[in-house]
Amino acid sequence: MIRAFRAARLFDGTHLSRHATLLVEGERVAAILRAENPLPAGVQLVDLGEGILAPGLIDLQVNGGDGIMLGKGADADRIARICAAHARLGATGILPTLITDTPAVTAQVVAAAIAAHRARVPGFLGLHLEGPHLDPRRAGAHDPALIRPMEDADLHALESAARALPALLITLAPEAASPDQIARLCRAGAVVSLGHSDCTADAAEAAFAAGARAVTHLFNAMSQLSARSPGLVGAALAAPVSAGIIADGVHVADAALRTALAAKGPDRLFLVSDAMAVAGTDLAEFTLGDRRIRRLQGRLTLADGTLAGADITLPQALAHLHRLGCPTDRALAMATRLPAQLIGAADRGILVPGARADFVHLAPDLALRAVWRDGQPVA
């Protein structure tokens, strides 16, 4: 059965059109009808009125949700629970993200991710390992005691995981992994992203030359840009690599966000939530390892005030960009097509014939109104 959906505007991943109609058959997009094209006979139209129909949002940095973190005790069911929580928040495809942990927990999470892939958990696009191969000088909320350089055993395990998963994003610091190790990870199919690093611009450029294609939460937990020491920020802004950014007005000042938008151009900057366990809940706090994280006024912090992830959804990040005057089509691409492209999810983040029928209805100010995944409404 073919169903039709229409709102005042439709974003297909690249272009924003007026009065286009989305046709859905089963779990896939059947067609996009422009305003002048009539509906096929017998197809019932769901007219959503004002606002925008857009692809389901894609979030490549999701540490937790629905009251749980990805970590010790992980299994396919817990991953499914995190995916379901974020689907309700508009992100129909995510990379559950493990922050720095022990080798045993990392292995457990990788095994759980492979099991989730085999079980075809809805919304699961792969795994993001943020650490442990970082720089303790830029640990942020990561436990410095667990941060360590990459060894041969780590490299072999990561290569194996990259071959077993639909996508594996690895955040590492050039100080903790050599260009040869980065190149090997890329050859195995991993997407290497630089982050939590105090590296020089030269070291970052060497990592990019080895195959690193992205930077994790731009501006945060990295060497900053100055006149004679560009650091990782300067290298990221200048290089033709992708960068995730947390657009919550807390992690990145609006002036810095505008700078990144100008420097990276329309196809190199994407949104991430960096969501934690509290996403989709009204919890006031949670624990990260044995440390208490407080939730207060849009911030998640350790006892010393260190930011520990973000308290924002992708639709809220889109609304923040909208208030800053970012063009609507660019903002939407930053939460749909661009992150999907980075991890090779060819049928996600777009609304074209054959793509998955994952889509959202957004208000004119880009606030979330409704979500569909695989053609079905998400409650």
Q: What is the pLDDT of residues 91-104, one digit of tens each?
A: 999 999 999 999 99
Helix (H, G, I), strand (E, B) or coil at 160: helix
pLDDT for 1 equals: 86
CATH number of 57-342: 3.20.20.140
CA distance 315 to 280: 13
Alpha helices in 24-141 (DSSP H): 76-88, 103-118
* Active centre residues (catalytic): 274
Q: Are 21 and 358 in contact (CB under 8 A)?
A: no
pLDDT for 110 equals: 98
Q: Are 374 and 123 in contact (CB under 8 A)?
A: no
Q: Exposed/middle/buried for 104, CB within 10 Å: 0-12, 13-18, 19+?
A: exposed
The alpha carbons of the chain give a radius of gyration, in whole angstroms, of 20
pLDDT for 290 equals: 84
Q: Exposed/middle/buried for 141, CB within 10 Å: 0-12, 13-18, 19+?
A: buried
Q: Are 122 and 87 in contact (CB under 8 A)?
A: yes
- Give bridge partners of residue 310 from the DSSP assignment: 275
**Residue among 259, 235, 231 at smallest CA distance from 245:** 259
Alpha helices in the chain (DSSP H): 76-88, 103-118, 152-164, 179-187, 201-210, 231-238, 254-264, 314-323, 328-334, 337-342
pLDDT for 42 equals: 87
CATH 2.30.30.60 applies to domain 2-54+352-377: no
Q: Are 95 and 60 in contact (CB under 8 A)?
A: yes
pLDDT for 258 equals: 97
pLDDT for 36 equals: 84
Give domain limits for the chain.
Answer: 2-54+352-377, 57-342
317-331 pLDDT, tens digit each? 999 999 999 999 999
Tell me if the bond preceding 327 is cis, omega within 30° of 0: no
Residue 139 backbone zone (phi > 0: left; psi -120 to 50: alpha; other: beta) = alpha
- What residues in the chain have per-residue pLDDT under 70? none
pLDDT for 35 equals: 82
Please report, for the chain, how many H helices and E strands are present, in that order. 10, 23
Q: Exposed/middle/buried for 53, CB within 10 Å: 0-12, 13-18, 19+?
A: buried
